[in-house]
Amino acid sequence: MNMSFNLNALLRDNIRKLVPYSSARDEFKGEASVWLDANENPFGSPLPHDYNRYPDPLQHQLKHKLSKIKGVPAEHMFLGNGSDEAIDLLYRAFCTPQVDNVILVPPTYGMYEVSANINDIAVRKVNLTNDYQLNLDGIAEAIDQHTKLLFICSPNNPTGNSINAQDIETILVNFNGIVVIDEAYINYSKQKSFTQALAEFPNLVILQTLSKAWGLAALRLGLAFASKEIIEVFNKIKPPYNINQATQDLVLEALDGVDIINEWIKATVAEREVLVSKLATLAQVEHITPSDANFVLVKLSEPRALYAYLVEQGIIVRDRSKVTLCEGCLRITVGTKPENERLLEAIQTFY
Ligand code: PMP
């Protein structure tokens, strides 16, 4: 339990005082059959759906279904236009430009820094250790009274490993700002989600996404789980109709596909292990970081030349060879069996 966390004190002044935009549909709560409040086209849309009407701003139906799947009550859930929207809203809610700062633990997901830069928030970097775990002493030293957010990605992108849960708890207990745990790749991991710890930590925000295991990257749906009070802040500052109707409809339908998603997760994890064991037999592969995600970080000789060769072969991986602590590494997403075999053949041909 974190005893000294004070959400109200943490908020930006303007956000604390903000009177949120109130849409026509927010103000009216009853039943009606004639809707002349929102300047919509009354005739319909050119599509066989009621897309002429604005969507539910709080996505009640979708949250209800997601809450059963995730085991988190709907009041503890925010939905964003990808988790990237939730990252941006966290900066806007808590960080005053040119005053506050955020702690990032590189190598990690790039949007935390991009979003900080867009919002003019100072970034304090405390590198992960050589085995890609948190440097707790370094983090403690970097925190000051203007540190509002700390992002931890677990399993981490681009390294693929999970971050030690005990270390994350240490930060949750001792840091009086918001600890964001990005669980974009949690479905592929042996570690359990932090969702069951929400009641214990008022300063915890968990990010998840339907863009990875759920196979819905194009629909843009990210989730944030947090205390009711933090969710209220998100709802106060989000664009009113941030999740469009087509996404709400299609995701509702997709959520019935939990069985196939679980099969694909198992297949991906099995393929990951095959890919790792085959890569490990190559003399030019110097290191493979044990992965809890659907990608592997591989250190090998001549990474940039190999990357260019793979591009020529029509195979695109991610070159991370210039990233601090990832020197010499490519990040490779686990594909289907035939895709992974094509990749391995191309690597062998290159060497
Ligand atoms: N978090 C991490 C760690 C990611 O790797 C990504 C996507 N690459 C995201 C968040 C963004 O997810 P979304 O598609 O929901 O914006």
Tell me the pLDDT tens digit for each residue of 225-277: 999 999 999 999 999 999 999 999 999 999 999 999 999 999 999 999 999 99
Q: What is the pLDDT, as a whole number, of residue 173?
A: 97
Probe residue for ligand 1, chosen from 153, 157, 209, 331 as the CB with the greatest number of ligand atoms within 8 Å = 209
Cα–Cα distance, 214 to 179 (Å, whole number) = 25
In contact, 225 and 208? CB cutoff 8 Å? yes
pLDDT band at residue 139 under the 50/70/90 scheme = very high
Confirm or reject: Cβ of 155 under 6 Å from ligand 1.
no
Closest residue to atom 8 of ligand 1, CA basis: 109
Distance from residue 30's CA to the centre of ligand 1 (Å): 38
pLDDT band at residue 30 under the 50/70/90 scheme = confident
Closest residue to atom 1 of ligand 1, CA basis: 184
Whole-number average pLDDT of the chain: 96
Q: What is the pLDDT, as a whole number, of residue 1?
A: 64
Segment 198-225 mean pLDDT: 98
Neighbours of 324 (CB within 10 A): 11
Answer left, alpha or beta for residue 228, where phi above 0 means left and psi between -120 and 50 means alpha.
Answer: alpha
Distance from residue 34's CA to the centre of ligand 1 (Å): 41
Q: What is the pLDDT, as a whole number, of residue 22?
A: 80
Q: What is the pLDDT, as a whole number, of residue 90?
A: 98
Confirm or reject: Cβ of 150 under 6 Å from ligand 1.
no
Distance from residue 213's CA to the centre of ligand 1 (Å): 11
Whole-structure pTM value: 0.97
Closest residue to atom 13 of ligand 1, CA basis: 82
- By percentage, how much of the chain surpasses pLDDT 90? 94
Distance from residue 210's CA to the centre of ligand 1 (Å): 9
Q: Give yes or no for residue 41 having a pLDDT over 70.
A: yes
Confirm or reject: Cβ of 156 under 6 Å from ligand 1.
no
Probe residue for ligand 1, chosen from 211, 243, 294, 333 as the CB with the greatest number of ligand atoms within 8 Å = 211
Q: Which ligand 1 atom sits closest to the C-alpha of 87?
A: 10
In contact, 295 and 332? CB cutoff 8 Å? yes
Q: Give yes or no for residue 164 having a pLDDT over 80.
A: yes
Cα–Cα distance, 143 to 101 (Å, whole number) = 9
Neighbours of 271 (CB within 10 A): 17
Segment 206-230 mean pLDDT: 98
Q: Give yes or no for residue 20 having a pLDDT over 90.
A: no
Distance from residue 14's CA to the centre of ligand 1 (Å): 28
In contact, 343 and 335? CB cutoff 8 Å? yes
Q: What is the pLDDT, as a whole number, of residue 21?
A: 82
Confirm or reject: Cβ of 157 under 6 Å from ligand 1.
yes
Q: Which ligand 1 atom sits closest to the C-alpha of 108?
A: 3
Probe residue for ligand 1, chosen from 83, 208, 295, 331 as the CB with the greatest number of ligand atoms within 8 Å = 83
Distance from residue 84's CA to the centre of ligand 1 (Å): 6
Distance from residue 36's CA to the centre of ligand 1 (Å): 39
Tell which residue, 181, 261, 186, 188, has the closest CA to residue 224: 181
Segment 139-164 mean pLDDT: 98
Q: Which ligand 1 atom sits closest to the C-alpha of 211?
A: 14
Each residue's pLDDT tens digit, 278-305? 999 998 999 999 999 999 999 999 999 9
Confirm or reject: Cβ of 294 under 6 Å from ligand 1.
no
Q: For the residues of 299-328, what is the DSSP string, one character each?
A: EESSHHHHHHHHHHTT---EE-TTSTT-TT
Segment 126-154 mean pLDDT: 98
Each residue's pLDDT tens digit, 86-110? 999 999 999 999 999 999 999 999 9
More confident residue, 27 or 31: 31
Q: Is the peptide bond before 202 cis (omega within 30 degrees of 0)?
A: no
pLDDT band at residue 25 under the 50/70/90 scheme = confident
